Structures are given as C-alpha cells and as structure tokens.
Structure 1
Amino acid sequence: MTAAADRILALDTATEACSAALYVQGDITSRCLVDPRGHARNLLPMIEVLLSEAGLKLQQLDAIAFGRGPGSFTGLRIAAGITQGLAFAAGLPVIPVSTLATLAQGADNDAVLAAIDARMHEVYWAAFSRDRDGVMQPVVEEAVCPPDRVTCPGRGEWQARGSGWKAYGDALNNHCTGRIVQYEPEALPHAADMIPLALQLYRQGRSVSAGQAVPVYLRDQVVQTAKLESK
C-alpha cells in the first residue's frame, strides 16, 4: 500500500469529450469540452487554468491520472502523450485508469453496463459494481465485441451508460430485456469521475512510471496499425 495522494491531475480524451480535473485535498475542480477534433488544442489550456486557479505548479502534484482506454485511437494517443510529457518533466508517477470504469463511475446506479461505440459494428464494454468505498469495480472485464454478444451478468438490474447504447441500443438489449432500469446513451467519460478510481489505484500502489503511460486499445488490428505507422 502507498500513502494517500493529496493532489492529482486527471486527463481524458478517449471519446468526443476532452476533460481535465484537479483533486486537491478533497476538492475537485474540472473543465470539459465536447470537441472531437480539438483535443490536442484544448487539453493543455485546461490544465494550465486548473493549476493556476489552485495556485499550484505541476511539480507539487502527487501524480497524473489519464484515461488509458479503450476509446478513440487518436484520443488515447493524445492523453497518453501529454501525460507522458508532463510526468517526465515534473518527475511524477502516472495512474492509468480505464475509460469504461470512468464512464461507470459517473452513474447514479451501483451496477452499470458501460459501452462505448467502437465503430466497425462493435462496442467496447464492461460491467461494473460499486464497492463499499463508492468506487466502481469490474464484474465483467472490458472487451470489444459485436453488440449482440453483450450480456447482463447475474440476476440484478443495471444502468446502461455510454455511446454504445446510443449506436446499438436494440442489439445490446438482445440479452438484457427487463434488466436495464436506466439509460444514459449520451453519457461521456469525464475526468472528474476518474478521481475516485485514481485515488484508489494510487493507494494500492498501482501507479506507473511516465514511460509506462500507454493506451489500451483492446482491438488488435488498431495496435498493429499503430506499430506500422511508427515505422
């Protein structure tokens, strides 16, 4: 176990939303903008504003958390790249946080089926349940698959959240009829919702070095494309 963190910066650009949040001794401030093509342009100014308003310098933080995916390939690269650069410069550890867990964390319900449109007639999805500390834990591990293969685990009721439900609602409901009590198909992950997850991971000693701040794509062919582009 690691000592609790007092100051964490969280960043997410995994979907259409670009967001940053700053946790300082129990208080959270944040910025969010839905601008799919503007993540690289918008994220650094958001960070500068949050730090300035808090009267902090980057070096005074305990760690930087970022949405490590799954999500938009380009978006994940932006968050990972900026996180690496800032963490290297300030000598800070990094906390990779699941985008799907962040999406689930923002829900009202304690049991959430989080699904993000993965294009190509597939979804990134996972099932989560809130623990006694109020932090979402995976019940079904994240995966990418056709929407009609998503199932509701167990016997309880679930909240549906994320763009996957907007794009493929009928197919996702094939195996979940009568089990969904609330729908939020417009919901997007937000860096402020990443904070509880990041704090728990930090306490558990699950932060990594800046060089290990890499995206999780889930889709093998995307990873292969990235390797080819880098050559």
Structure 2
Amino acid sequence: MTQTVLLALDTSTEFCSVALLRVTVDAAAQSGAEPRCWVRHEQTGAVSSTRLLPAIRELFDEAGLSLADCDAIAFGAGPGSFTGLRTATGVAQGLAFGLNLPVVPVSTLLACAESARLRDPSATRVLAALDARMDEIYWADYAWDDAQCEWRTVQTASLDVPERLVLPDVPFTLAGNAAAAFGARLPAVAAARTVDGAALPHALPLAHAALRAFRAGRTVPADQAAPEYVRDKVAQTTVERLAQKAEKAARAEQAARTEEAARHTAPAQNTHGGAPDTAPHGEGRQ
C-alpha cells in the first residue's frame, strides 16, 4: 500500500481556503480508495495571510499527518486578488523549499470548472467567469476529456468586459460569480445550459485537479512557482477613477433632468373636464 498526500491552498478571493488530500493505493491491485479530505474554508477578507498557516497546521493535526508526509503542494495561481495570489504563492514556495517538494500551480478558473463537475458530473463543458472588478471579468473555457480524465483548455484565462465573452457552440455550464455580478450584461447567462454560481475558487476542487496534474508530472520547482495575474495592473489610475465618477454623475444628472421634464410636461388628470381637482381626499367642493 502506498499513499499520496497533497496540500492545496487558495487565497485568491476573500476566503482563506485550505484542503488536504490523502489517497491510498493498493499497488498489487493497482487500485485506490477515494481520497480522504480535510478542509478549512473561511471568509477572512484581507487577512488571509494571518489565517493560512494556522489553518494548515489544524488540517495536518486533524488528519494525524505532518508536513513531512506531504508529496506535493498546490496553490491557486490566479487570476484573482493580487495580494491573495502573492500570499498563496509565497506560502506554497516556502513550504516546498523547506521540504524539497514539487509545486502544482492551478488556475482558479480551472478550479471553478472542477467544482462545477464535482457538483454535476454532466458539466463536461464549462465556461468559468469571475468578477474581476473595474467592470471586467476573468474567464476561460474548458472541455472535459473522458478518455484522458482531464480538462482540455479551449480558451485560456482572459480579461474582458462582460459583453465580449465568447460562448461555446455546444451546451455548457456557466461557473463562477460573474452571472450574479453582471446579470443580463453577460450573454452566457441566457445561453448556458445551467448557471452554477456556487462553483467558485475553493481549495477542495483545486486539490482534486492538482492531484491529477501531480500524477501526470505537471509540476514545477518551488522557485518557478508564480501567480497568473492576467490583469497587468492592480487598480484604476486616479484619472480613470475620476473619469468614471464624472461619467456616473453625468448619467445621474441626465436621468434627473429627464424625470423632471416628464413631470412638468405630463397632462393633469381631470375627470370633470374642468380645472384639476385639488380638494383633499374625502372633502367635497363648495
């Protein structure tokens, strides 16, 4: 009997997400049991860095294992929060350096696709789309290959406005939170076979995807682990923020003027054919 132990980390969102997988394989029978899983998934906001290492220690204690039992470390490489991606990358690198372990970078969009398939085995074509803020989305297109038991990337991770999302030409599942964030602006919402808004970056589906990658040898040395930002800037410039604020103010002002004009030009309601009746309700006219 042999075992594989894999640790997976994701801090690409406001959640600190950690999963530990242990798979036992009977070498003689060439078969393995279902992975044992231990998970911490907590909404920590901007302080994931302070929670990540304690969560890792808790999982190893709970599983009765130690870091020395680990065979590989996986992390959510992005896209996602710039600070969060750096946190997961740094911790994965640090642990892997100390233990001389390989690292498995996994796209957070692929983790969304994996989550959708774990929840619904018929989700074999998945368009993963996440709110990227600044009125944009991160998205990628994946197709499940039954023969290879692996995802095939149809479209790599991209950054676009919601309206420019390219739809698959076959029935598909829309995974991620972009549907909730943009609604009808996202063409995939109406076109999707199903929308799975709960299929989000999470260490457990990330660990399942990473286990297959580890077994296939798709790993990197610790010093080569790097985030996949996709977006090349953290936030809007001051000029962009001011321009966006001015545009919103102009739209609001125009809407107010339109409403005011409609109020002044609307015909008075008068069922008596004379001047409008302004008497209080319930009072007669003299």
TM-score, structure 1 normalization:
0.87
Find the counterpart in structure 1 of residue 252 from structure 2: none
| CA contact 2:183–2:189 (8 Å) conserved in 1 | no
1:152 aligns with 2:164: no
Q: Distance in 2 between matches of 1:121 and 1:90?
A: 41
Percent identity between matched residues is 44
Please identify the structure whose Cα radius of gyration is greater: 2
Alignment partner of 2:214 out of 202, 208, 215: 202
Q: Structure 1: which 5+ runs fail to align?
A: 226-231
Find the counterpart in structure 1 of residue 8 from structure 2: 10
| CA contact 1:105–1:135 (8 Å) conserved in 2 | no
Alignment partner of 2:197 out of 170, 185, 191: 185
| CA contact 2:130–2:178 (8 Å) conserved in 1 | yes
Q: How many residues align structurally?
A: 218
2:6 is matched by which residue type in structure 1? I
Alignment partner of 2:180 out of 161, 166, 172: 166
Find the counterpart in structure 2 of residue 214 from structure 1: 226
* Alpha-carbon shift at residue 62 of structure 1 (Å): 0.6
Find the counterpart in structure 1 of residue 282 from structure 2: none
Larger relative contact order, structure 1 or 2 (CA cutoff 8 Å, min sep 6): 1
Q: 1:212 to 1:51 in 2, by over 3 A?
A: same
Superposition pairs for residues 104-115 of structure 1, below 5 Å?
104-107=113-116, 108=120, 109-115=123-129
RMSD: 2.1
* Alpha-carbon shift at residue 187 of structure 1 (Å): 3.7
Q: Distance in 2 between matches of 1:101 and 1:78?
A: 19
Q: Distance in 2 between matches of 1:179 and 1:69?
A: 26
Q: 1:110 to 1:200 in 2, by over 3 A?
A: same
Find the counterpart in structure 2 of residue 121 from structure 1: 135
Alignment partner of 1:130 out of 138, 144, 148: 144
| CA contact 1:123–1:145 (8 Å) conserved in 2 | yes
Find the counterpart in structure 2 of residue 67 from structure 1: 76
Alignment partner of 1:140 out of 152, 155, 163: 155
* Alpha-carbon shift at residue 5 of structure 1 (Å): 7.1
Find the counterpart in structure 1 of residue 22 from structure 2: 24
TM-score, structure 2 normalization:
0.71
Q: Structure 2: which 5+ runs fail to align?
A: 24-34, 238-286
Q: 1:177 to 1:119 in 2, by over 3 A?
A: closer
Superposition pairs for residues 37-48 of structure 1, below 5 Å?
37-48=46-57
Q: Distance in 2 between matches of 1:177 and 1:114?
A: 12
Q: 1:205 to 1:5 in 2, by over 3 A?
A: farther
Q: Distance in 1 between matches of 2:157 and 2:192?
A: 19
2:139 is matched by which residue type in structure 1? W
Q: Deviation per CA, 1:37-56, whole angstroms, max 9, x where unpaired?
A: 22112211111011111222
